[in-house]
Structures are given as C-alpha cells and as structure tokens.
Amino acid sequence: MRYADIDPALFVNNRARLMEILPQDAVAVVNANDVMPISADGTFPFVQNPDLFYLTGIDQEETVLVLCPGAREARLREMLFLRKTDDKIALWEGQRLTREDGRRVSGIRTVHWTTEFEGLFRQLAVASGAICLNSNEHLRAASPVQTRDMRFVNWCREKFPLHRYERLAPLMQQLRVVKTSEEVALIREACRITGEAFRRLLGFVRPGVWEYEIEAEMLHAFVRNRSRRPAFACIVASGPNSCVLHYVRNDRQCRDGELVLMDFGAEYANYAGDLTRTIPVGGRFTPRQRQVYEAVLRVYRGAMAMLVPGTVLDDYQKTVGRLMEKELIDLGLLDARAVKEQDSEAPLYKQYFPHGTSHHLGLDVHDVGDRHRPLEAGMVLSCEPGIYIPEESIGIRIETDVLVTDQGPEDLMADVPVEPDHIESLMNA
C-alpha cells in the first residue's frame, strides 16, 4: 500500500470494543467489498469495505472476518480469511497477503484461506444462537448493486433458516462515529494532503484554465503524497457551475471575473479529507463577490464555534439557519418582514443555502453517525456553509474539517488559506 504501515493495535482495539457489545451467543461476519467490473475484463480500482478495514486493516479483496465472542476455543473467537495466493497470482496481479501478513497487519492470530471458510463458519454457527450480519444502513445510501455482504445474508438465511439474525450496522455506527487518536492522525494526514493541493492551486488558477486542468493539479498533489485517490469525486465549478451543488463534469473553461468553487479531498489509508474553497479566477474578488464571501465566512466561523460536546446537529442546523438569514437580509437577497412571517418548516434561507452545514467524516466522506446523538469529543465533522445566487453566477462555499474536543472545536485545516485578502495575496504573489 502507498500509505505507511498502521500499528495493528488500532484494529485490535476496535475489535475488542465491538466484541464487548456483540450478543455473546452470536457469530458475526464482515465481508470485503467486491472488485467492481467495468466491461470486458476491466475493473474499477478496488476500494475496501470501511467496516472490514476498521476491524482488520486489511485492504485486499475476498477477505472475511469472523468474530464469535462466546466460542469455547480462544482460537475461534477471531478468525480472518484471505484469498489464497500463489505464484500465478503474484505474476499477473502482484503479491497478495500471506497468512503471516494477515496476522501482522490485523493482529489476528487465526488466519485461514477462504477455501476453509464454510466448514469453520458452520462449526461456529451451529454452536451459536444468533448470526450477526453486516449491511449498508447509511441514511443516504442507495444500493442498486448487491454487495458481497448482502449476498452473504441471503446465503446464510438459506443455510441456517432457524437462527436468530441480528444487525451489525448499528453497533458499527456506534463505534465508528467517535474516532480514536490513531484514526484522527490518519484524518490529519488526509487533511494535510488536501491543504497542500489547495495551496498548489492558488498558484495555478488563472483566466483561460479549464476545470479539468485544475482537477489534474489536485490529483497530482494527492498521488505524490501517497494518497491513492480522491475521497470523493472532485468538484471544480466555475462561473454558473458554482451554483450546482454536486457538479462533477469539470469541463468548462474558467473566465476572468468569475469564481471557481472547488470541493475536494484526499483519501489517506481509506480516511477522508474534505475541503471547499472558492477563489476568484482572475486573482481578485469583485466587490459583490467579496461581500458574499465575507457573509459566508461569518456563518462559517459561527457554525464552527458550535461544534462542541453536547450539540445536536438538528438544533445546530436551525441555529446556523438563523445566522444565514441575517446575512441574506444584509445582502439584499431576503426581505426581513418575509423572514418573520415564513413557515418554520420551509425557511426562506434555503433558497440560497439549500444543504446542511455539517456531516460526519471518517472512513467515508459522509461517514456514519446519528444526527440525534449529541456530539462527543473524538467526533470529526465538516463545516460547510454556502450561499448560491444563480442569477448572479455567484456560488460560494467554504468548508473545513473539525475535531470535536472537550477544549472546543479544532480546525484540522487551520493552516489552509481562507481569508479573502490571504487568498488574493497568494494568487498574485
């Protein structure tokens, strides 16, 4: 892997915490993601199932983890199954993990080839009262393609129809939402790489450059810093495109006098960074662009200050909405009287700020997390207010990643330029 070795103690500790909350009569199974086909014999680059990586550190396809806290034999309480490697695989695809590699990376002592899985799993299943299975239960998930985990659910129900079945996803979400210090260190590195990419762009963006050329500079900075890929599809949105929230075509030429909104983040060891900055293509904000930018910046600062233990995200969003209402009134975009008379269920600010301000961040850029669970130290969230005025071709979003601590919010991208004067000075240096 490109990223530096991770101390297996992280994964040992993650499994131990899961074992404490698993039903003691259950056997739990987590599968790797599939290698996804494109066409002919082509495939997309492999991306690991974040739950499996969280529990094992294994970044290889066809991997299975089995946990059975109540197993009478200690060797059966944690088992890792790997795709069997051989000289032919090494010749065509490169060296795959050996069983000793699996032990070293994961800290699991009992490692088998996947050819041995069915017999050993049956042994545990018939001695267990419940089977605990994994699925993608993210609130925003759309899963038209059946995953390896879901195929395994169907296989299990056919083979063991009389067992009690339990959901693993709520337990994984409970654990993953609060990051350990080791995880925070990996997120910091993803943020560092992302920030370096932005500073590179400040010296590159100019009138006439194409959005895809800016994206190419991002990817260059990622790869040279041991990131394997963007954490999500890079958004490079100039002029009117800046008002399209998830614009990813990146095929327009940037023009003098316009803004370019860039929402991007590096992946590092499967952990995500997520940054948005909006800069003037020609190196100077117009008076109106600066006015809107500074309004967003004030909301950004006010929102970040609220990311502290005890905050509930639904309440937080309502408070951010009130901050945004004031700014939109001052910008001449909303009428103060209309705001006083608005339907509380359809606030007028959403016309210009239609998305949420924060989402959890971790192994997924929109990481697992319960919006009704009060924030706790160790959670990591984005902070990303924006104002979008299509009739003026002005879309401005500012985003950073924030670690919730008992001492207050810590901006993980505090060294990334955000002040308009600073941005202009670096662009014109």
Of 358, 380, 136, nearest in space to 271 by CA: 380
Cβ of 140: how many Cβ atoms within 10 Å? 6
34 catalytic, yes or no? Answer: no
293 catalytic, yes or no? Answer: no
The one catalytic residue in 103, 255, 298, 355 is 355
59 catalytic, yes or no? Answer: no
Q: Give the integer Cα–Cα distance in Å for 283 and 267.
A: 28
Q: Give the integer Cα–Cα distance in Å for 207 and 173.
A: 45
The one catalytic residue in 217, 359, 360, 367 is 359
Q: Give the integer Cα–Cα distance in Å for 65 and 220.
A: 35
The strand pair at 400-403 and 410-411 is best described as antiparallel
314 catalytic, yes or no? Answer: no
138 catalytic, yes or no? Answer: no
The one catalytic residue in 149, 183, 327, 399 is 399
359 catalytic, yes or no? Answer: yes
256 catalytic, yes or no? Answer: no
315 catalytic, yes or no? Answer: no
401 catalytic, yes or no? Answer: no
In the block, tokens 């032919």 appear at 88
The one catalytic residue in 211, 252, 388, 424 is 388
422 catalytic, yes or no? Answer: no
388 catalytic, yes or no? Answer: yes
**Burial level of 95, CB count in 10 A (0-12/13-18/19+)?**
exposed
Q: Please check whether residue 166 is in contact with residue 23, taking contact to mean a CB–CB distance below 8 angstroms.
A: yes
In the block, tokens 């197993």 appear at 71
The one catalytic residue in 41, 93, 100, 345 is 41
The strand pair at 275-280 and 259-264 is best described as antiparallel
In the block, tokens 């030429």 appear at 253
Amino acid in position 130: A
Instruction: Give rounded-to-5 percent helix, strand, coil for the chain.
Output: 40, 15, 45
Q: Give the integer Cα–Cα distance in Å for 310 and 137.
A: 24
The one catalytic residue in 83, 103, 366, 371 is 366
The one catalytic residue in 164, 167, 246, 422 is 246
Cβ of 302: how many Cβ atoms within 10 Å? 18
Q: How many CA atoms lie within 13 A of 150 on its CB side?
A: 9
The one catalytic residue in 51, 59, 258, 263 is 263
Of 53, 47, 49, nearest in space to 15 by CA: 53
Q: Give the integer Cα–Cα distance in Å for 86 and 152.
A: 26
The one catalytic residue in 61, 149, 327, 384 is 384
The one catalytic residue in 274, 325, 327, 367 is 274
Q: Give the integer Cα–Cα distance in Å for 206 and 384.
A: 25
The one catalytic residue in 300, 397, 401, 424 is 397
Active site residue ranges? 41, 246, 263, 274, 355, 359, 366, 384, 388, 397, 399
